[in-house]
Chain A
Amino acid sequence: TQLLEQSPQFLSIQEGENLTVYCNSSSVFSSLQWYRQEPGEGPVLLVTVVTGGEVKKLKRLTFQFGDARKDSSLHITAAQPGDTGLYLCAGEDNNDMRFGAGTRLTVKP
Chain B
Amino acid sequence: DTGVSQDPRHKITKRGQNVTFRCDPISEHNRLYWYRQTLGQGPEFLTYFQNEAQLEKSRLLSDRFSAERPKGSFSTLEIQRTEQGDSAMYLCASSLGTGGSGNTIYFGEGSWLTVV
Q: Which residues of A contact B (CB under 8 A)?
A: 2, 6, 30-31, 33, 35, 40-45, 48, 50, 88, 90, 92, 94-102, 104
Shortest C-beta distance, B51 to chain A (Å), equals 13
B107 and A44 within 8 A (CB): yes
B45 and A96 within 8 A (CB): yes
Known interface pairs A45-B106, A48-B104. Does A102 touch B2 (Cβ–Cβ under 8 Å)?
A: no
Shortest C-beta distance, A73 to chain B (Å), equals 17
Known interface pairs A31-B102, A45-B104. Does A2 touch B42 (Cβ–Cβ under 8 Å)?
A: yes
Shortest C-beta distance, B58 to chain A (Å), equals 9
Closest 3 CB pairs of A and B: A42-B107, A99-B42, A50-B101
Residues of chain B lying within 8 A (CB to CB) of residue A102: 41-42
Residues of chain B lying within 8 A (CB to CB) of residue A98: 45
Residues of chain B lying within 8 A (CB to CB) of residue A90: 42, 105
B107 and A40 within 8 A (CB): no
A92 and B103 within 8 A (CB): yes
Known interface pairs A96-B48, A96-B56, A99-B44. Does A44 touch B101 (Cβ–Cβ under 8 Å)?
A: no
B48 and A88 within 8 A (CB): no
Shortest C-beta distance, B9 to chain A (Å), equals 9
B43 and A50 within 8 A (CB): no
Residues of chain A lying within 8 A (CB to CB) of residue B25: none
Residues of chain B lying within 8 A (CB to CB) of residue A104: 40
